[in-house]
Chains A and B, each alone.
Chain A
Amino acid sequence: DAGVIQSPRHEVTEMGQEVTLRCKPISGHNSLFWYRQTMMRGLELLIYFNNNVPIDDSGMPEDRFSAKMPNASFSTLKIQPSEPRDSAVYFCASSPGQGAEAFFGQGTRLTVV
Chain B
Amino acid sequence: KNEVEQSPQNLTAQEGEFITINCSYSVGISALHWLQQHPGGGIVSLFMLSSGKKKHGRLIATINIQEKHSSLHITASHPRDSAVYICAVAPKAAGNKLTFGGGTRVLVKP
Chain A complexes with chain B: yes
How far is A89 from B43 in the complex, measured between Cα atoms in Å?
A: 12
Q: In the complex, are the beta carbons of A45 and B31 less than 8 A apart?
A: no
Cβ of B48 under 8 Å from chain A: yes
Give the number of residue pairs across the A-B interface with Cβ within 8 Å: 53
Q: Using a Cβ–Cβ cut-off of 8 Å, how many residues does chain B contribute to the interface with A?
A: 23
* Residues of chain A lying within 8 A (CB to CB) of residue B86: 42-43
* Residues of chain B lying within 8 A (CB to CB) of residue A78: none
Cβ of A76 under 8 Å from chain B: no
Closest chain-A Cβ to B85's Cβ sits at a distance in Å of 12
Residues facing B in A10-41 (CB within 8 A) are 31, 33
Closest chain-B Cβ to A23's Cβ sits at a distance in Å of 14
How far is A3 from B43 in the complex, measured between Cα atoms in Å?
A: 12
Q: In the complex, are the beta carbons of A109 and B45 less than 8 A apart?
A: no
Closest chain-B Cβ to A36's Cβ sits at a distance in Å of 11
- Interface membership of chain B positions 68-110, coded 1 if the CB is closer than 8 angstroms to chain A and 0 otherwise: 0000000000000000001010100011111111110000000
How far is A99 from B88 in the complex, measured between Cα atoms in Å?
A: 12
How far is A93 from B96 in the complex, measured between Cα atoms in Å?
A: 12
Given the known interface contacts A99-B90, A102-B45, A106-B41, the answer about A55 and B100 at a Cβ–Cβ threshold of 8 Å is no
Residues facing B in A88-113 (CB within 8 A) are 89, 91, 93, 95, 98-104, 106-107, 109
Closest chain-A Cβ to B35's Cβ sits at a distance in Å of 8
> Binding site of A, secondary structure by majority: helix, strand, loop or mixed?
strand
Residues facing B in A44-79 (CB within 8 A) are 44-45, 48, 50, 55-56
How far is A42 from B88 in the complex, measured between Cα atoms in Å?
A: 12
* Residues of chain A lying within 8 A (CB to CB) of residue B95: 50, 55-56, 98
Given the known interface contacts A42-B102, A101-B48, A102-B33, the answer about A95 and B41 at a Cβ–Cβ threshold of 8 Å is no
A-B contacts besides A31-B96, A50-B95, A107-B41, 15 pairs, CB < 8 Å: A42-B86, A42-B101, A43-B100, A45-B97, A45-B99, A48-B97, A55-B95, A89-B41, A91-B43, A98-B95, A99-B90, A100-B48, A101-B33, A104-B45, A107-B43
Residues of B within 8 A of A (CB): 30-31, 33, 35, 41-45, 48, 86, 88, 90, 94-103
